[in-house]
Structure 1
Amino acid sequence: MALTYESAGVNKNEGYNEVNLIKKFIKKTYTDGVLSDLGGFSGLFELNKDKFECPVLVSGTDGVGTKVKLAQMLDVHNTIGIDCVAMCVNDILCQGAKPLFFLDYIACGKLVSEKMASIVEGVAEGCVRAGAALIGGETAEMPGIYKLNDYDLAGFCVGVVDKKKIIDGKKTVKKGNAILALPSSGLHSNGFSLVRKIIFEHKNFSLDMKLDSGKTLGEELLTPTNIYAKQIGRLLEKFNVNGICHITGGGLYENVPRALSENTDARIYKDAVPKKEIFSLLQEWGGIETDEMYGTFNMGFGMLIFVEKEDVEGIKKLFEKSGDEIYEVGEVIEGSSKVVLC
C-alpha cells in the first residue's frame, strides 16, 4: 500500500477547511493599510508615512503560556486568541506604538478545522480590539511532536511610533511622577503553571466549581487578557507620558523596574486598584506568601503609566469621559530601580 501524507498524520483537507472557516473572521480585522488577501505567501501592509515625521516600526512576539492547557481541558477555544493578541500588543504599547498588523502561529497534534477556526476567531477578535489587521498566520499539524488534542499558540505584532515620540521610561521617568494603573481583567496570561499546580495537585478542584462572582472557576481562569490599545491611544493624543509598563510574567517586581530610570523607585499602594477574587482565592488555596503573589501575578495591575503629577486630574477626566477605569496607585521616589509596595 502506497504511503500518503494523511497516513503519516497530516490531513491537508482539514487545513483547507480551516482556511474557508476563518475567512470571515480575518476580513473584519482589515484596515486601510492591508494590500494582500488570505492565501498568499506573505502579508502586505502599506504604512502611511504622511502621518509621521520619522516612523519607527515596533515589534513584539509572545504566547499565552500554559493557559492553553485550560482552554483544552474546557474545550473552549474562542478566547485564547484574544490573550495572544493582548500579550503582544500590550508590550508594544509600552514604547508608545500604534498597532498595525498581527500574525499568528498555531501548532497542533491533530488539525481539527472547527477547533483551529475557533482559535483564529479569538485572534481576530483581539485584533479588532487592538485596531490591528490580521494579515497572515500558520497552522502546523505536527503529529509526534504534540499529543492529538494539544496545541500551542503564538503571535507576532508590528506597530509604529514617530521617532521623537518613542516612550522609554528608563530615560524619562523621574522622581515626583505619578503612577496610574489600568486594571486587569483577572490573571491575564501569566502564572498558570502555578495556578494549575494549586488547583489540580494541591486542592484537586473541579473547573466547574462556582465562585462568589457567579462564574465557574474555569470561566474565571479563561477570562481574556485586557487589550489596552484604545485607552493608551487616546491618552497619547492628549498627554505626554514618561513611561508605560505592561505587568506580565514576573508580576510587579520584575516588570516595573523595566520602566524605571536607575535612580528611581516606584512606590505602589497595593490596595489602590480593585482586585478580582481569584487572586485572594489562589493565595489562600496555595498558602502563597504575599511577595510571591506580587512576583508572579499582576494582582489587579494590568498596565502602569508614569505621568507628570499635574496631568493626573486631566487624565482621570479623559478616562471618565470614555467610560474606562484608571487609578492613581503611587508615585516615583528616589531609589535604585525597584518596587516598593505599601
Structure 2
Amino acid sequence: MAEAPPADPYAEAGVDTAAGDLAVELMKSAVRRTHGPEVLGGVGGFAGLFDASALTALATPLLATSTDGVGTKVAIAQAIDKHDTVGLDLVGMVVDDIVVVGARPLFMTDYIACGKVVPERIADLVRGIADGCAQTGAALVGGETAEHPGLLGPDDYDLAGAATGVVDADRVLGADRVRPGDAVLALASSGLHSNGYSLVRRIVDRAGIRYRDHSADLGATWGEALLEPTRLYTAALLRLIAAAGGAVHALSHVTGGGIAANLARVLPPSTRVELDRATWSPPPVFRVLADLGGLGLEATEGTWNLGIGFLAVVDESGADAAVSTLAGEGIAAWRVGTVHSGAPAAGDAWTQGAKGVDGGAVRLVGAYSESNGAK
C-alpha cells in the first residue's frame, strides 16, 4: 500500500498558501486594468517594474511618496462582512497625499495582513484598491498578502499602502507660494473618509448600536453609512492645477488632526487664516454622531473633517474660476477664508503649525450653518 503524502506543516500551522494563490488569481484582472505600457512584468513578480523614461522630459523631476493605512474603519467592514470599499479608502489616504505637492501619481503597492486568507475577501479588498488606482491614474504594480494565524483572528485584517508620484521642481505646491490675500477654498468630503473611526466606534458601542441596525437619520444601516467610501480628489485637482495657470498655491488633505491643523501645515509662518463655519453645514453623519456622543460639533473639529475633505489656497483672482472648475468635476467647493499676514495675538485659540511643521495659524470662527450643504 502506498504511503500517504506527508502533511503540510505550514498548513497545519495555519497558513494556507493555496488560498493565497487563489486570491492572486481572483484579483489579477482588476490589477491589470491599472497597468499602462509603463508597467513591465505583469502580476506576481518579486518586484514591480515601472518604466520611468518619460520622467526625463521634466527639467527637474522630483519623486513624491506617501504611505498610510485605513485605520479602524476596517473593523466596521469586518463587522458587516463588506470589503469592497475599504481598498478605495486606502488609495484616498495614500495617493491623495501626493497631489498636495502637485505631484502626479505613478504607481502604488499594497500590503494586507490577515488572520486567515479567504480568497474572495482578499480579492474584494484588492479590487477596491485597483478601482481607486484607476480613478487616480496610479498603476497598482505590486503588493503582499500575509497570513498571520495566532496574531490576528480568522476574520481580522489590516491594510496599508505606499505610492510614488512625480512633480517638476518648479511646480511644487506649498507654503512658499502662499501670499496674504489668497483665498482658501473648501472642497466637500463624501463623509467621514477614513479618520476618527476610533471615536466613531466608541460612540456607536456606548449607544448599544449594532452596525446592521438601520438608522432613520442616515437612511441606511449604520455599517453602510459609516463605510461610505472616501472621495478621491487627485484627478480633479491635477486638472484644476493645469487649468489654473499657477493660481493654485497650496493644497491640504484634511485627514488626521482635523481641519485647522492640516491647513496650518501648508501656510507660511507669520500668516493666519480664520475659517468661517457659517459657510457650510456639516453633513448629517457628523451631526448624528456628535449628538449621539453628547458632543458639540466644535469638539470634534480636531478629529473629523466635518464635510471638508481638502482645502485649496489659491490666488484671489482665480478663486471663482477654481470653484467653477471643481463644480465641473462634481466636487462642491466654496470660499471658507482668506490668508492674512502677521501672527495672531498670544493667548487666542489658534492652531499654530502641526506635525512638526512650523506653519501658519488657523482657527475656526462663527457657528455652523443649519442649511443643507455649502453656501
TM-score by length of 1: 0.96
The superposition leaves residues 253-280 of structure 1 with CA deviations (integer Å, 9 ceiling, x where unpaired) of 3211111111111211123234320111
Aligned length: 340
* Higher Rg: 2
The residue aligned with 1:272 is 279
Distance 1:254 1:308 in 2: 21
The superposition leaves residues 274-304 of structure 1 with CA deviations (integer Å, 9 ceiling, x where unpaired) of 4320111111111124432111100111000
The residue aligned with 1:137 is 143
* Structure 2 SS opposite 1:199: helix
The superposition leaves residues 203-244 of structure 1 with CA deviations (integer Å, 9 ceiling, x where unpaired) of 111222223342222111001111101111111102222111
> Which stretch shows the higher mean deviation, 80-89 or 239-248?
239-248
Asked if 1:237 corresponds to 2:237, the answer is no
Asked if 1:57 corresponds to 2:44, the answer is no
Unpaired runs of 5+ residues, structure 2, are: 1-5, 344-359, 366-375
Report 1:60-75 matches (<5 A): 60-75=66-81
Distance 2:116 2:322 in 1: 49
Asked if 1:6 corresponds to 2:6, the answer is no
Residue identity matched to 2:316: K
Report 1:126-275 matches (<5 A): 126-169=132-175, 171-200=176-205, 202-207=206-211, 208-239=213-244, 240=246, 241-275=248-282
Asked if 1:114 corresponds to 2:120, the answer is yes
CA RMSD of aligned residues (A): 1.5
Unpaired runs of 5+ residues, structure 1, are: none
Distance 1:211 1:249 in 2: 28
* Structure 1 SS opposite 2:49: coil
Residue identity matched to 2:23: E
> Which stretch shows the higher mean deviation, 237-246 or 295-304?
237-246
Report the CA distance between 1:2 and its aligned residue.
Answer: 5.6
User: Are the equivalent residues in 2 in contact too, given 1:31–1:132 (CA < 8 A)?
Assistant: no
Identity, % of aligned pairs? 42
User: Are the equivalent residues in 2 in contact too, given 1:62–1:84 (CA < 8 A)?
Assistant: yes
Residue identity matched to 1:228: Y
Distance 1:260 1:193 in 2: 29
Residue identity matched to 1:226: R
TM-score by length of 2: 0.87
* Structure 1 SS opposite 2:265: helix
Asked if 1:46 corresponds to 2:69, the answer is no
4+ aligned runs moved over 3 Å, structure 1: 320-324
Distance 1:27 1:3, change over 3 A: closer
> Which stretch shows the higher mean deviation, 273-282 or 34-43?
273-282
